[in-house]
């Protein structure tokens, strides 16, 4: 994976998050919080988890920022506050990725898991995991929207992003 791919995935990540949040903001509160059987319970729990794990990885990669200690913590109860934090974290991630070079991707990064176990991996593997993890749980969030609304959730296909489907303006 080269730096072009990493930057594209970072941009895609932000685009897909905005599309999910646009759908989430349109939902009645009861639907938004309805348990659906996904790993983090509801759309709200899943969106919180995605923000939380990005914060963990960005703290590991930069040494700054918040580092929640529980993977199921609810960082923001209000979805608009959650959206503002999501936009800020996506910007932080995009800025970080824009500063990397191809050579940086091969460098090892040492970190500790939330349980304290030490690891060291190439940066490119960590970033591949970060973006894959986002896609995995966005898929669950996508399913939540479909289940609770009975409608069609927004497309999150990478091809749609590459073809220029616009992201909603949520700022």
Binding-site positions: 49, 133, 137
What's the length of the chain?
A: 171
Bind-site residues for a divalent metal cation? 49, 133, 137
74 CA to centre of own chain: 15
Distance CA 153, CA 103 (A): 38
Cα separation, 1 vs 24, whole angstroms: 32
Q: SS3 for 120?
A: strand
Q: Give the orientation angle of helix 79-98 with respect to helix 43-62, to 10 degrees.
A: 30
């Amino acid at each position: 994976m080269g730096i072009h791919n990493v930057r594209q995935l970072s941009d895609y990540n932000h685009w897909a998050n905005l599309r999910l949040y646009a759908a989430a903001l349109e939902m009645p509160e009861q639907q938004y919080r309805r348990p659906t059987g996904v790993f983090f319970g509801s759309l709200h729990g899943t969106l919180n988890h995605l923000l939380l794990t990005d914060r963990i990885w960005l703290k590991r990669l930069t040494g700054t920022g918040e580092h929640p200690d529980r993977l199921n913590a609810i960082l923001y109860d209000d979805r608009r506050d959650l959206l503002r934090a999501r936009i800020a974290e996506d910007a932080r991630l995009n800025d970080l990725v824009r500063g990397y070079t191809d050579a940086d991707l091969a460098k090892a990064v040492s970190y500790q898991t939330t349980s304290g176990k030490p690891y060291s991996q190439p940066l490119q593997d960590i970033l591949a995991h970060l973006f894959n993890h986002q896609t995995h749980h966005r898929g669950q969030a996508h399913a939540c929207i479909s289940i609770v609304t009975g409608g069609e959730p927004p497309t999150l296909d990478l091809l749609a992003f590459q073809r220029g489907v616009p992201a909603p303006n949520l700022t």
